[in-house]
């Protein structure tokens, strides 16, 4: 992979609790409407009101950066599978890992197919507080729809339902169907205050691999992005000075 990944993630719990992510988005995209605190809390309470199971906590279904940077307290994590959904680079971002001039791309969970990810356990005794932190991260603009999805272990055994953030294809940030070439170009070049899209991609691949999960499609994108970055570096080194 073309980028060193040793530095700690810039998206932190402290940034989220202080409203830093919302401020970042507001600066980069002043025309985008952000959810109010009341709307965000109403969304959280609605999700909990539709909770299918009650016990000692809930599962979250992580398919992207939540795998390697959850920013919330967890009691367990396991490889898992969600049928009827797949991860895709379908959410445009002009802040965080992109800019207004060069929007980046983030993962969303789209209908159809199968997604191998990780379920994360949040304990019951501080459930609402930890989910408040999560909602400050995932529901700033309302581009996702929180949804309970049936989760299985990788052998097909049921794990119960897990809360997942599925893409809202009516939201302003929905990028729609992009070609592989468009996805690779944006992931290879977009960057913002939280880092690069390439780092987001590479860390997601590494997080999945650490959990014993192989995603051939994502790894193909990572290989192409690394090659695109290497080609850009060669071009920059050989370009004549002006």
For residue 93, the domain's CATH number is: 3.10.490.10
175 is a domain residue: yes
8 is a domain residue: no
- Residues whose CB is less than 8 angstroms from the CB of residue 48 and which lie 6 or more positions away in sequence, other chains included: 127, 128, 131
> What is the pLDDT of the chain when averaged over all its residues?
95
3 is a domain residue: no
7 is a domain residue: no
Query: What integer is the mean pLDDT of 3-20?
Result: 85
Tell me the two tokens of residue 102.
């060069």
Q: Work out how many domains the chain is built from and give that number.
A: 1
Query: Up-side HSE of residue 44: CA atoms within 13 Å toward CB?
Result: 21
Per DSSP, the three-state class of 5 is coil
In this prediction, residue 5 has a pLDDT band, given cuts at 50, 70 and 90, of: low
pLDDT value at 197 more than 90? yes
- Report the distance separating Cα 78 and Cα 159, nearest Å: 10
240 is a domain residue: no
Percent of the chain with pLDDT over 90: 91
Query: What integer is the mean pLDDT of 164-184?
Result: 97
- Report the distance separating Cα 160 and Cα 143, nearest Å: 25
Domain coverage including residue 21? 13-234
pLDDT value at 3 more than 70? no
Query: What integer is the mean pLDDT of 70-77?
Result: 98
Q: Count Cβ atoms within 10 A of the Cβ of residue 15 and give its class: 0-12 exposed, 13-18 middle, 19 or more buried.
A: buried
Q: Which DSSP string do the residues of 59-105 spell out, in sequence order? A: EEEE-SHHHH---S--SEEEEEEEEEEEEEEEEEESSSS--SSS-EE
| pLDDT at site 233 | 87
In this prediction, residue 104 has a pLDDT band, given cuts at 50, 70 and 90, of: very high
210 is a domain residue: yes
222 is a domain residue: yes
Contact 80, 155 (CB under 8 A): no
130 is a domain residue: yes
Q: Active-site positions?
A: 138
CA angle 45, 174, 83 (to 5 degrees): 65
Task: Give the tens place of pLDDT for each residue, 14-68.
Answer: 999 999 999 999 999 999 999 999 999 999 999 999 999 998 999 999 999 999 9
Task: Give the tens place of pLDDT for each residue, 144-171.
Answer: 999 999 999 999 999 999 999 999 999 9
**How far apart, in Å, do the first and last CA atoms of the chain sit?**
31
| pLDDT at site 212 | 97
């Amino acid at each position: 992979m073309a980028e060193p990944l040793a530095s700690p993630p810039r998206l932190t719990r402290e940034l989220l609790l202080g409203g830093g992510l919302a401020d970042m988005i507001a600066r980069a995209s002043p025309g985008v409407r952000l959810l109010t605190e009341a709307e965000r809390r109403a969304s959280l309470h609605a999700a909990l009101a539709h909770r299918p199971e009650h016990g000692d906590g809930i599962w979250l279904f992580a398919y992207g950066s939540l795998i390697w940077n959850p920013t919330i307290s967890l009691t367990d994590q396991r490889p898992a599978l969600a049928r009827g959904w797949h991860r895709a680079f379908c959410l445009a971002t002009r802040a965080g890992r992109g800019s207004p001039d060069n929007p980046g791309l983030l993962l969303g969970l789209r209908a159809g197919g199968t997604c191998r990810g990780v379920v994360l356990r949040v304990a019951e005794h501080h459930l609402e507080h930890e989910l408040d932190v999560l909602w400050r991260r995932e529901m700033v603009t309302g581009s996702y729809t929180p949804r309970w999805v049936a989760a299985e272990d990788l052998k097909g055994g049921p794990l119960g339902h897990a809360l997942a953030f599925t893409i809202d294809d009516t939201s302003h940030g929905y990028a729609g169907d992009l070609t592989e070439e468009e996805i690779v170009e944006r992931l290879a070049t977009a960057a913002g205050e939280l880092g690069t899209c390439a780092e987001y991609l590479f860390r997601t691949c590494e997080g999945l691999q650490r959990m014993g999960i192989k995603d051939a499609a994502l790894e193909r994108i990572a290989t192409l992005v690394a090659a695109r970055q290497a080609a850009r570096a060669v071009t920059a080194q050989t370009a004549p000075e002006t």
